[in-house]
Each structure stands twice: as structure tokens, then as C-alpha cells.
Amino acid sequence: MNNDIAEPLPPSAVPPGAADKGPLREMVIRPRSGWIAVDWRELWEARELLYFLVLRDVKVRYKQTVLGVAWAVLQPFFTMLVFTVIFGRFAKIPSDGLPYAVFVFAGLLPWTFFSNNISQASMSLMNQQSLLTKIYLPRVFVPAASVGSGLIDLLVSFVVFAGLMLFYGVGVGPGVLVIPLLVLLTTAASLGVGLGLAALIVTYRDFRYVVPFLVQSWMYLSPVIYPVSMVPPQWQPLLALNPMAGIIDGFRSALFGLPWNYTTLSVSSFSSIILLICGLYYFRRTERKFADVA
Amino acid sequence: MTKPAIKAEGISKLYRLEHGGAGSKTFRDLLTDMATAPLRRFRQIRGSDVSMEDFWAVQDVSFEIQPGEVIGIIGRNGAGKSTLLKILSRIVEPTRGQVTLRGRVASLLEVGTGFHPELTGRENIYLNGSILGMKKREIDTQFDEIVAFAEIERFLDTPVKRYSSGMYVRLAFAVAAHLQPEILIVDEVLAVGDADFQKKCLGKMREVSKGDGRTVIFVSHNMGAVTTLCNRALLLERGQLVAEGPSSEVVDRYLVPVAEGVTGAFDLRNTTARADNFPKIVVAARVMDESRRLTLTASPFQKIRIELDLVPPFPMRTPMVDIGFNNARGERIFLVSSNLSPTPLGSANGISTTSVTFEMPPLYPGRYEFDIGIMPVSGRYIDHITPGGTIEVLHDNYLQTSYPYFVEMGAVLVPSRWESAPAVEVVERETARII
């Protein structure tokens, strides 16, 4: 009935030299070993799948909850409250001259996004084994979907943050325009770590116990509750190897119009991209064994 | 000149089995085991441990499938069917060999892969569809058809966790049935769902293959479905391809166990199927065809002879012998009895052979067990063996239908001829009769 509508492959799906072989795409399945390149064309063609997986994660998270999306507001808000009391009031950690609540929230925005992405993405494959053993799909999308749905939460957190800024009467500089770029870097870094851990956990289940510990330690190595300026200058480039150092610092510079620390930012950007590449390729390398070990 | 849709060349899949392990014998062993366990586990998972056994789930399988063919893959459990399907669907990688697929592939190894219980029917149609490889546009255009096929119109916006299992399966299959790949790979998914829906699914699959020349690979234990749906079949045994050809031939080959020693003769001297307190009167049973060759199979309407060797401990003047046939569910389907024949059996004392000849009724294809009972005169068995033997009723499509057979159709499938005449003729005929 509708057969005529769906059949022709989109022109982009046919490789340039394929015309003489007929319209059907040929695919060869054979044992592979070593490093396997990322099949970007496949990912592009299946992009709608990523969209539906993200949609599923977002919808499922707030189904059958009383407060619904309010959770995305409450979680960072209460974390901010606790941190402000403990670290701002009691420990009196400096905050670059800003109200500590605003200061710590600006750090929590990218950090919560990053850490949730890692936790969700790393467990995604193990929790959805039927997607590995019962069907073939671009498996990179499964952890990637967790990161995608994290973006929605980040968006909600930004709204809360705007309210907080208004409350404290803190203005925003033109630096906010850099925020999308910083979010992109966070996405890259967390996707890299998430992919790598997801692949590890499918094979070696022990690593799932490592994730919470890793995330917690990582937070103290990132300037969430303290400013980068508290770290001795000679250690700052080393700190910047942690992508979140430069990103969180960049967030604060962008939001509050503080001076930019270009060294930290560029080192962190570089390490974000390295993390993404490493995670992606480790994932690709182990992917062909997923269905055997899952 | 068409190229094959699927060309498999020497594909093999190796799995490593963890050995049972000797276990810890002493507390000291236990301690050392515990200490070295993580390292050993690591080696095992990596596959570099020597205490692993190699197991070829699929071994050196080659075949070609032309576009538009419907191929059945049959074999016992563990024969490698599922592994083969997983290789063809790109889920697992072969250890050796290669497969060339021409066209878009969709596989359906499980009903409702990726369904999320919290999401509504509508949401799951899109999610599952895209997981199976459909584009949103394709799902949009077929959405109404999918919903109608699944018969879930009223529950479209209900979370699927509230669906009955039947609705769940219907929805899942409906999505998959509307995939439009060039190559469709289907595992035993038809084993679920009610009979009506199974028929609908099989109908849909036939439509898929005939209508658009799509290639379908189909694994099933329903030999009826394989014979009627598939033009060719592959038979796997212990990971190897042992037969390939027209589906009815391959199915027959599968149903006839070629194991040595199993011939159709049943030694009943020490069978455990006899209750302990019975004397051993029936000591052997033999199933034979018309030319008195032992057989394990029978076609409907074939003449079958069963011989029983009797060793009665006392003379029986008019013994009665019953042989009752039960289907796989243990239901009695029919009985041949010396009581139900024109002439009673003569007396039996000492060793004798009693035989019965009958025409095999047109039973639903499958395996039947027969019980043997002996009565001296009165209505109590003095020897009763349940079961005394088995016979496989072959599926040779004696109904000559293109429709699959279902258990629900009944225990006996009666050949019939149908015709219809235009109403005018009927009127004329009836009128003629009245005049």
C-alpha cells in the first residue's frame, strides 16, 4: 500500500561508484580486529534513532513522578544550598568576590551536567542489553542518548540560575555567548568518558562500582566549590588537564565577566577532545564483542 | 543476472566455554583460589585462559540466497540457528568467513526490542520503529496501518505496561511487520501470541515476500509454517549445514532422526514406562510400513502395521489388545483395539506375535506416542505400557494447501474439496429440482 513511498534510498545513501552495481547497497560482514573507524555515514543516516532515544530518556525520567520536571530544578538548587552553607559559610572558601551561592551554582551547572552524563551513559549499555544482543543499531547512540537527555536538564538548570542571578542582582556580560561552546566541550568530554566506561562495564561488570567513586573524586579535582585562583599558579596547567577545570572556570568568566584564563581553557579544550576521541575509539574497538559478552 | 541477496562463505563462530572447574577442595585451596580469582577472571573474560573449551556454535556454513526467496532455517535447539541469525543481522561478528548482504537488512529476533513499559503505545511505535531501522517518515505514513494491524486503537495513549501480553505482542509485531527492508530476518517470534494473530503474522510475512520480492529468512520450530511459507530450507546440526533444498524435503529429513539404533523397534522388557506390578507380557513392539520394513514415520493414509511380541504367564483365551495414540500434549487421539475389530483375537499362550494393520488417520503432523494395554478377558489391564513407542506423522502437505498448519485447527486435518457456483445457477438448479 505504502510501499512505493518508503523504498527509494535517499541519494546520499548510495555511494558514488555504486550506480553500476544497481541501487542496492552491498554490505560485507567479516571478522575485524584492531581499531575500527567510526562509520559517520551510518550515524548520520540513523540520526533519527538518536532523537527517539533521547526523547525516550527524557519522557521516562519524568513519567510517574509527582513533581515531574521540577526535579531538574530542585536537584541543583538543593545541592547549591548545601554547598553554600557548608563550603561558603562554614569553610569560608573564597568565591572571586561573588555571592557564594551564585559562584557555586555557576560551577554546578556544567558539573552536574558532566557527572550525570557519565553516570547515566556508563550504565546505559548494561541496562539495555537487549539493544546489544537482539538487534543491530549504531550502539554509540545508546550512551549518546543519555548525554542528549542531560542537555534538557541543563537547560532547566539555566532557568533556575537566571532566577538566582536576578535575586542577587548579578548582571551578565557579553561573555554568555561563549556558553554554547563550553557546553559543547562538556558534552564532548562527558561523552568520551561515558562511552569508554559503558564499553568497559559491558565487559567487566566491576567497573560499575568504580563510577560513583570516580565521579565523586573528579568533583574535588574540579573547581566546583573553589575558584581556580585558589590553586597555586604553577599547578594550574596541571589542573587544566582535567577538562572540567577549564570549562567551569570558563563558565564563570563567561557568566560574570571575569578575566579569561586562556591557558587553562585551551588545555582543557584539548583534553576534552582527546577524551572524546579515546572514548569513541575504545568503544569502537570493543563494540564488536558486546553481544558476545553482554 | 541477479546477484544473491545473501551470500555466506564459510562462516564460523567460536565461543569459549568456561570449564566447570575442579572447585576448591581445601580451605587452603579456597584461599589461594580467592587470591588468584581476580586475575583468573580477567584472563577468562579476555579469553586467554587455558581452562576454556572451544565451542563452534556455527561451523563453516556457506549458502546463497536469491532475492525474493523465503528461506527456513531449522534444526534442534543448540544447532546454531540463533547464532547464524545473529551473524546475519550484524549483532555478533563471525570468527571466520564472510557474509555479503545486498540491500537493507532488518532483523526481528525478539518481539518488542527496546519497548519501554512506561511509554505509551504511540511513543513505543516510534521508538521501536526507529530501533528496527525505520525512518520517521516511514513510520508516519504507516502509523495508522500499524495501529489497525495491532488492534490497539483504544489503547494508543496508554503506557504499554498496562497492556495485556497479547496486546503487547501484537503491537510489537505490527511495528516489525511494517518494516520494509530488502532482507528480513525473523527468529521464532511467531511462537508467541494467539493462533489468530499468528495466522495474521504469517499472512503478512507471505505478503512481504511475494508482494515485493523481498528476501525473508525465517527460523521456526513450526514445521508446518516452514513448509508452507518457505520455498527452501537449511538444516543445521551441531553448527553445521547438513541439508539444503526444497523445504518439504529438508523438513522430512529433520523429522526423521537418523540416529543409529533407533529404528521403530521398541524393546519393552525392561521399560520404565510400565507400572511395576504388571507382569511383563508385551516384550517388544515394532512399527512397520506396508512392506514390513521398520519405520519411525508415517504419512497420513499410509498403511501401518504394529507387531507386539507377547509372553503371557498364563493362557489367555481371547485376549484384548489396545494401542492408543496420544499427541504431544498427552491427549488421546485415537485407539486401535482388538475389541473394536470385526474378528476377535484367538487365544494366546506361550510366546506369540500379535499384529494389527490400520490406516494412519490424517493427523496433525508431529510426534505421537502409543500406549499398549493387554486385557485377558475382563475390563482390567494386566499389562499396560505408557508409552510403548512413538511414531512421527509426517508433514507432507496432504491437504495440498498453501496455508500453514496450526495445532488449533484440530487433531485431525481432513482433506476437503471446495467449490462455489454463481447464485444464478443455484437458483436454476433448485428451480429445476422443484419442477
> What is the ipTM for the molecules in this complex?
0.84
Residue B20 clears pLDDT 60, i.e. is over it:
no
Residue A16 clears pLDDT 70, i.e. is over it:
no
What are the CA-CA distances from residue A283 to residues A28, A52, A121, A277, B44 (Å)? 21, 22, 12, 10, 20
Q: How far is A138 from chain B (nearest CA, A)?
A: 9
Set of chain A residues whose Cβ sits within 8 Å of the Cβ of B142: 2, 6
Contact B97 A28 (CB under 8 A): no
Residue positions counted in chain A = 294
Contact A48 B212 (CB under 8 A): no
DSSP-assigned letter for residue B313:
S
Tell me the mean pLDDT in the region A40-66: 88
- Which chain A residue lies closest to B117 (C-alpha atoms)? A60
Contact A30 B97 (CB under 8 A): yes
d(CA A26, CA A151): 37
Alpha helices, DSSP H, located in A23-62: 40-45, 47-62
Q: How far is A75 from chain B (nearest CA, A)?
A: 23
Kind of pairing between the strands at B6-18 and B96-102: antiparallel
What are the CA-CA distances from residue B215 to residues A249, B71, B131, B233 (Å)? 57, 8, 20, 13
* A204 and B CB contact within 8 Å: yes
Q: How confident is the model at residue A2 (pLDDT cuts 50, 70, 90)?
A: very low
CATH architecture of B66-255: 3-Layer(aba) Sandwich (3.40)
- In which residue are the cell numbers 532483523 written? B107
d(CA B338, CA B349): 17
More confidently predicted of A184 and B283: A184
Q: pLDDT tens digits, residue range A226-245?
A: 998 888 988 888 899 999 99
- Which chain B residue lies closest to A5 (C-alpha atoms)? B138
Set of chain B residues whose Cβ sits within 8 Å of the Cβ of A2: 141-142, 145
Tell me the mean pLDDT in the region B129-143: 92
Contact A29 B90 (CB under 8 A): yes
Facing B126 at nearest CB: one of A52, A63, A134: A52
Contact A31 B159 (CB under 8 A): no
What are the CA-CA distances from residue B42 to residues A194, A286, B27, B28 (Å)? 22, 15, 23, 22
Contact B92 A291 (CB under 8 A): yes
Closest CA to B143 of B174, B169, B116, B113: B174
Lowest-pLDDT range of A79-93, A123-137, B191-205, B303-317: B191-205
Phi (first) and psi of residue B417, to 5 degrees: -120, 140
Give every CB contact of residue A71 below 8 A, 6+ residues apart in sequence: A62, A65
Closest CA to A204 of B208, B383, B47: B47
Q: Please state the domain extents for chain B.
A: 66-255, 265-393
- Which chain A residue lies closest to B114 (C-alpha atoms)? A131
More confidently predicted of B20 and A259: A259
Q: How far is A203 from chain B (nearest CA, A)?
A: 8
CATH of domain B265-393: 2.70.50.60
Mutate to test the interface with A, among B62, B122, B123, B130 (most CBs of A within 10 A): B130
- Reported as type and span, the H/E element at residue B254 is helix B247-255
Set of chain A residues whose Cβ sits within 8 Å of the Cβ of B119: 56, 59-60, 63
Facing A29 at nearest CB: one of B87, B104, B211: B87
Write out the three cell numbers for B335. Answer: 485407539
Contact B109 A63 (CB under 8 A): no
d(CA B116, CA B123): 9
Q: What pLDDT, on a 0 to 100 scale, did the predictor assign at position A6?
A: 37
Mutate to test the interface with A, among B91, B127, B142, B217 (most CBs of A within 10 A): B91
Over chain B, what is the mean pLDDT? 81
* A85: helix, strand or coil: helix
* A31 and B CB contact within 8 Å: yes
Share of chain B above pLDDT 70, in %: 82
Contact A29 B135 (CB under 8 A): no
Where does B226-275 show beta strands of DSSP type E?
232-237, 240-246, 265-267
- In which residue are the cell numbers 568503544 written? A283
- Which chain A residue lies closest to B93 (C-alpha atoms)? A31
d(CA B311, CA B388): 16
List B323's β-bridge partners, or say none: B336, B372
Set of chain B residues whose Cβ sits within 8 Å of the Cβ of A60: 116, 118-119
Taking the model in full, what pTM does it have? 0.70
Give every CB contact of residue B13 below 8 A, 6+ residues apart in sequence: B56, B57, B58, B80, B83, B87, B92, B94, B95, B239
* A288 and B CB contact within 8 Å: yes
Residue B170 clears pLDDT 60, i.e. is over it:
yes
Write out the three cell numbers for A10. Answer: 535517499
List B304's β-bridge partners, or say none: B358
